[in-house]
Amino acid sequence: MIPLPSLSAAMRVWRRDLRVFSKIWRGALLPLFFDPLFYLVALGFGLGTYLATINGVPYREFIAPGLCGSAVMWAASFEVAWNAYFKMEESRLYDSVLATPVEVEDLVLGEVLWAGTRAVIYGTTFLVVIMLFGLVQSWWAIAMPPFLLLGGLCFATIGLAYTSLIPKMDYFTFYFTLFITPMFLFGGIFFPYDRLPDWAQVVAWFTPLYHLVAIARDLATSPDALTVTANAGWLAAVTLVAFAVPVRAMRRRLVA
């Protein structure tokens, strides 16, 4: 068992990250807002004009909610990859934080909460964009941000677990090439899962993006409470179980 984190100590870490984000988002992070928009325009409004509907939904409306999920995934993953590694091993900022009453479990929770926050900012911004484009059929879509946050927390926890275990930054290539990018391509954003082979559907079920995209698409079209709850439960369970990994690994690494 790991010690329970202190929420107030974690929020101190979160506030530092928010302060930094508020200073640099225009310069360094604004381009990330455009990423899903380019995919929507290229695939939804470009390729989509050549495609028939999918499950009765026009292609651009099919991919738009899924891109909210991918915006969340990329934002959370970037935050806990190079940013966190830099603070852990290069600038040694985590050492200075851990010399205060903040403990490792608080630090991990603070970083995960911040990455989730950043993810929900990106995901919700894109949600507003697709609503303005008229690509959302149900008003239930406005209930999406809490689920985007949950997805962000899940990606952040998994990503921070990976960051806390790797010996050097070069290993992020494996994470993004072999885990994040395949999820983006095969996670159900661009085509329905039921067209995949059986084994691929099983693999997809074990990835967080599958569940986040399912929630986003459900809320944007015709939500089914049971399905949404089941997918959200999957994300919450994985987040809670995976949380111990970065806590243990960082404790070994920083407070050995």
Partner 1 sequence: MSALAVRARALSKAYDGRIAVDGVDFDVRAGECFGFLGPNGAGKTTTMKMIYGLAAIGAGTLEVLGRDVARQRRAVKARLGVVPQDDNLDRELTVRENLVVQASYFGLTGREAETGARAALSFAGLQDRAGARIQELSGGMRRRLLIARALVNRPELVVLDEPTTGLDPQARRSAWATLERLRAQGVTLLLTTHYMEEAARLCDRLVIMDFGRIVAEGSPAELTARYRQPHLEAVFLHLTGHGLDGDGRARIEALGGPS
250 near partner 1, rule: CB under 8 A? no
Stretch that binds partner 1, among 12-20, 114-122, 166-174, 213-221 (CB under 8 A): 12-20
How far is the C-alpha of 54 from the C-alpha of 173, rounded, in Å?
33
How is residue 54 written in tokens? Answer: 């999918």
Q: Single out the residue of 144, 188, 179 nearest to residue 74, CA to CA.
A: 179
Rule CB under 8 A: choose which of 97, 148, 215, 219 binds partner 1.
97
Under rule CB under 8 A, residue 195 binds partner 1: no
Interface map 17-46 toward partner 1 (x if CB under 8 A): --xx--xx----------------------
Instruction: Pick the binder of partner 1 from 33, 54, 81, 102 (CB under 8 A).
Output: 102
What distance, in Å, lies between the first and last C-alpha atoms of the chain? 17
Nearer to partner 1, 18 or 244 (CB): 18
Q: Which is nearer to partner 1, 101 or 233 (CB)?
A: 101
DSSP reduced 3-state for 204:
helix
Q: Binding of partner 1 at residue 51 (CB under 8 A)?
A: no
Sole window of 14-22, 48-56, 74-82, 193-201 interacting with partner 1 (rule: CB under 8 A) = 14-22
Single residue of 7, 49, 53, 92 touching partner 1 by CB under 8 A: 92
Helical ranges in the chain per DSSP H: 7-24, 30-39, 59-78, 84-85, 93-98, 104-132, 144-165, 172-175, 181-186, 198-205, 208-220, 225-242, 244-254
CB 250 within 8 A of CB 85: no
Q: What are phi and psi of 241, to 5 degrees?
A: -70, -45
Name 5's Cβ contacts closer than 8 Å, sequence gap at least 6: 103, 105, 106, 108, 109
Sole window of 9-17, 46-54, 123-131, 144-152 interacting with partner 1 (rule: CB under 8 A): 9-17
- Contacting residue, 38, 45, 47, 100, with partner 1 by CB under 8 A: 100
The two three-digit tokens of residue 55, written as one number: 């499950």
User: Does the footprint of partner 1 cover residue 240 (CB under 8 A)?
Assistant: no
Could you say which of 7, 15, 53, 178 contacts partner 1 (CB under 8 A)?
A: 15
Least separation in angstroms between residue 15's CB and partner 1 is 6
Binders of partner 1 among 58-77, rule CB under 8 A? none
3-class DSSP state for residue 137? coil
If binding is defined by CB under 8 A, does position 93 make contact with partner 1?
yes
Contact, 239 vs 157, CB < 8 A?
yes
For residue 30, give the amino acid letter.
Answer: L
- 256 contributes a contact to partner 1 by CB under 8 A: yes
Judged by DSSP in three states, 54 sits in strand
Q: Are 151 and 112 in contact (CB under 8 A)?
A: no
Instruction: Name the site residues for partner 1 (rule: CB under 8 A).
Output: 8-9, 12-13, 15-16, 19-20, 23-24, 91-93, 95-103, 254-256
